[in-house]
Amino acid sequence: MNYKELKELVEKRYSVRKFEDKKVEKEKILEVLDAARFAPSAHNYQPWHFVVLTEEDMLEKIQSVYEPQWFKAAPAVIVALVDHDKSWTRDDGKDHSDVDIGITVDHLTLAATANDLGTCWVCAFDAEKCKEVLELPENMEPVTLIPIGYPKYPEAKQKIREDLDTMVSWEGYLEK
């Protein structure tokens, strides 16, 4: 893949909140998770775990932690977890699991896009209730819910992004 193809993939990816009423093939979900597996992590500790929910009873349970109606139409949800017993912590106490899971989920969402699937990062959910629903041990933290499915409208709206010169400084920080 060259830069142009990568840029097209990145530009194609958007937050999907309307899904077709169609199951996602297990093979496609496995491909998406395989791409996530190759994400870099601090000290290569790989402190992540993914819980895939596709069965109706589990989807109903996870819907109790995030209630907007559009979420209920997702044919599958991937819950991205971090394992604080495995994550690397910098000398000043900064736990890098949030950075590691962010990189991993980005790999996942791009792989989903490459497989004609739509995703959305959901972070405004009840994390404590999610831990209860999934019966997670204390060291496991649910960071994001990722509804995944075939987008009802496969074309993204035009993305509004700032110009590079407003967010990039060379050879030191310069306030813009």
Name the residue type at position 133: V
Task: Kindly list the strands in the beta sheet with 76-83, ordered across the sheet, starting from the edge strand earlier in the chain.
Answer: 48-53, 76-83, 140-149, 118-119
CA nearest 175: which of 131, 166, 154? 166
170, part of any domain: no
The beta strands (E) that lie in 89-154 are given as 118-119, 140-149
Decide if 8 is inside a domain: no
Range of the domain at 62: 14-152
CATH number of the domain enclosing 74: 3.40.109.10
Burial of 127 (0-12, 13-18, 19+ CB in 10 A): middle
Instruction: Name the domain count of the chain.
Output: 1
What residues contact 5, with CB distance under 8 A and at least 6 apart? Answer: none
Residue 163 covered by a domain: no
The answer as to whether 9 is a domain residue is no
58 residue type, one letter: M
Give 111-156 pLDDT, tens digit per residue: 999 999 999 999 999 999 999 999 999 999 999 999 999 999 877 7
Which pTM value belongs to this model? 0.94
Is the per-residue pLDDT at 173 higher than 80? yes
Residue 117 included in any domain = yes
Q: Has residue 100 been placed in a domain? A: yes
* Assigned domain for 171 exists: no
> What pLDDT shows up at residue 82?
98
